[in-house]
């Protein structure tokens, strides 16, 4: 019966890792897209996207903290 929760924990960890990677990739893609643009267009797009990019960054950081907590809990359970 301990396999069920362990598998669920592993699946959750993988999903959180995938979400962090997806958000990170999206943020990097936005920066790569904006970098070569002319400053006026880049600034205009940054103003339009700024709030959304900030929310994505905050979500990524939150998921990274959650992932660290879950990994710590798994390590503690493995020691028992």
CA dihedral 56, 62, 65, 71 (to 10 degrees): -80
DSSP 35: T
Distance in angstroms (rounded) separating the CA atoms of residues 44 and 52: 14
Distance in angstroms (rounded) separating the CA atoms of residues 63 and 12: 11
pLDDT single digits (tens) 17-75: 999 999 999 999 999 999 999 999 999 999 999 999 999 999 999 999 999 998 888 88
Q: For residue 12, what are the domain limits?
A: 3-79
Q: Quickly tell me which residue has 């943020």 as its tokens.
A: 27
Number of domain units in the chain: 1
Distance in angstroms (rounded) separating the CA atoms of residues 52 and 63: 16
pTM of the model: 0.80
The total number of residues written for the chain in this structure = 80
């Amino acid at each position: 019966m301990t396999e069920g929760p362990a598998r669920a924990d592993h699946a959750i960890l993988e999903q959180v890792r995938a979400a962090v990677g997806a958000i990170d990739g999206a943020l990097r893609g936005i920066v790569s897209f904006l970098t070569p643009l002319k400053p006026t267009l880049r600034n205009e797009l940054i103003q339009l996207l700024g709030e959304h990019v900030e929310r994505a960054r905050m979500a990524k950081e939150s998921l990274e903290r959650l992932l660290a907590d879950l990994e710590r809990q798994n390590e503690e359970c493995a020691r028992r």
